[in-house]
Structure 1
């Protein structure tokens, strides 16, 4: 079945740190929450808009307005200098940007649900822990964990200090970020390349060093519902039921948490064959946040 792509509108928000850019689907039903999507490392906001695997298209078809933002220092967004591009700093900038977005687009909506991937999920947890003034209803996290395999840690530490932003070679990106051949179409992997962007070394090191050390403290300050998914074939995180449970339990102040290992997918879960089913599950979580608030 062919699905028509939703209309796109450019997003430009002003903050004290400069511009935050992105793309959105435009106004749809106002009884659903506004969905804000934060991409991971090595991509810009187009990660969520790969043809045939677009969260924006699925959201619009289901009656949700979806806005995918370029995180600070990525894509069309301004950002602090590389040494200041911490997850906490990015969360502070995005707090201001999403507040501006809410002032523009909130209308009569019940609130905002943040959907995030990989490093974007670590930043989403920081953002929720800030307890923003705009109405955050819940966060949906995937592509993040609490422990990376030793070979990933060693590889990231092996990059020379002071190196500029890193772009993984296509074969390495395929091996680390996507599951086995039966889980993903190579056409989708190819189509996603237009959303690839260099990854600052500071973020690479924070996700393997700083985040595992401090994520429990951050998670404990999150007081909204949490939807957490770890892909079976994620090449960047240790994946098992013990790690899943430990990560979910860290959100000790959340009113409720759902957590599962998604079978048949890799780190870039949004581009795999089951992406539409996964996106619908995220939107169902957003609707449940409204129903149970």
Structure 2
């Protein structure tokens, strides 16, 4: 599968400051429309230390898998990444991301949503936290459902202490060996071309994100998840080193979506934090796309 995504830029007004808000990214190019009359418009939100290229690595591309099904995907660079305007973190940079992207996605829906059943949002890691916060805000645009990976409820002491000890500078470049050790599972869970292939979408990360996800977010994740009222697909890699990860934690995380009509949550065996980049990645992406299409069908049946 060779990625054929095209660059994407959207300019808007920051709802918090009224300043210019530019969001970059990439979108796929479905060659033929899907068999269904309407399909979802998928928005993909990456995690920390990666750009939107996370969703378009050759052989691991969510955008290309979706294009083969005739499903449009727009992968956004979150605020502060690539060409996207940073946001002031305020109380929580994750919630600030959610507010800005809720506004942007609403405009993208107006521009690109014609003929689609609604919006489905896929988020990984910190992008998954942002995704749940977007859903919890119950946006005015038609949100069909969400899929998150790399998010749970509790962080091990080791990663939290390491991130708390980072130098007090705006952007952090994580050393390659350190990053690979927490993003990937054992060598047998991924191809020999990984993690090297994933480094094409590496970038620096706002320090505020690492502090927030390991501290503030943990204190509010259950209350945020409880406000999500759309279907939820949740997956967690068995060998995720950034979260306390076991079947019980995955089940507890799924159970925290107390207002969601459907919750499909479980561990993904034989995969690390970035499930997409492991042997299990194709199955993850196909299950996310299938769930999105199911949500689209459910929406059509209800109208």
Does 1:239 find its partner at 2:245? yes
The aligned counterpart of 1:169 is 175
Match of 1:201 among 199, 203, 207: 207
TM-score by length of 1: 0.94
Match of 1:73 among 62, 72, 80: 80
Deviation for aligned residue 1:173: 1.3
Paired residues of 1:125 and 1:219 also in contact (CA < 8 A) = yes
Match of 1:145 among 152, 156, 170: 152
Does 1:289 find its partner at 2:302? no
The aligned counterpart of 1:42 is 49
Paired residues of 1:15 and 1:93 also in contact (CA < 8 A) = no
Tell me how many residue pairs correspond in the alignment.
289
Matches of 1:265 and 1:229, distance apart in 2 = 11
TM-score by length of 2: 0.91
Deviation for aligned residue 1:85: 6.7
Match of 1:11 among 3, 8, 12: 8
Match of 2:38 among 24, 31, 39: 31
The aligned counterpart of 2:18 is none
The aligned counterpart of 1:64 is 71
Paired residues of 2:2 and 2:58 also in contact (CA < 8 A) = no
Residues 139-198 of structure 1 deviation map (CA, whole Å, 9 limit, x = unaligned): 0000111111111111111123x2231121111111110011111123132121111111
Paired residues of 1:146 and 1:212 also in contact (CA < 8 A) = yes
Matches of 1:276 and 1:239, distance apart in 2 = 21
Matches of 1:215 and 1:269, distance apart in 2 = 21
* Greater relative contact order (Cα < 8 A, sep 6+): 1
Gaps of 5+ in 1: none
Paired residues of 2:88 and 2:96 also in contact (CA < 8 A) = no
Match of 2:98 among 85, 91, 94: 91
Paired residues of 2:268 and 2:280 also in contact (CA < 8 A) = no
Matches of 1:291 and 1:81, distance apart in 2 = 38
Matches of 1:153 and 1:180, distance apart in 2 = 22
Alpha-carbon spacing, 1:289–1:63, altered in 2? closer, same or farther (3 Å): same
Paired residues of 1:83 and 1:202 also in contact (CA < 8 A) = no
Does 1:248 find its partner at 2:248? no
Matches of 1:56 and 1:63, distance apart in 2 = 10
Match of 1:215 among 217, 221, 235: 221
Deviation for aligned residue 1:208: 0.7
Moved more, 28-37 or 207-216: 28-37
Matches of 2:122 and 2:48, distance apart in 1 = 15
Gaps of 5+ in 2: 15-20
Root-mean-square deviation over aligned CA pairs:
1.5
Residues 25-82 of structure 1 deviation map (CA, whole Å, 9 limit, x = unaligned): 1355262101110000011100111111010111101221111000011111112246
The aligned counterpart of 1:270 is 276
The aligned counterpart of 1:229 is 235
Alpha-carbon spacing, 1:57–1:216, altered in 2? closer, same or farther (3 Å): same
Matches of 2:2 and 2:237, distance apart in 1 = 28
1:238 match: secondary structure: coil
Paired residues of 1:129 and 1:223 also in contact (CA < 8 A) = yes
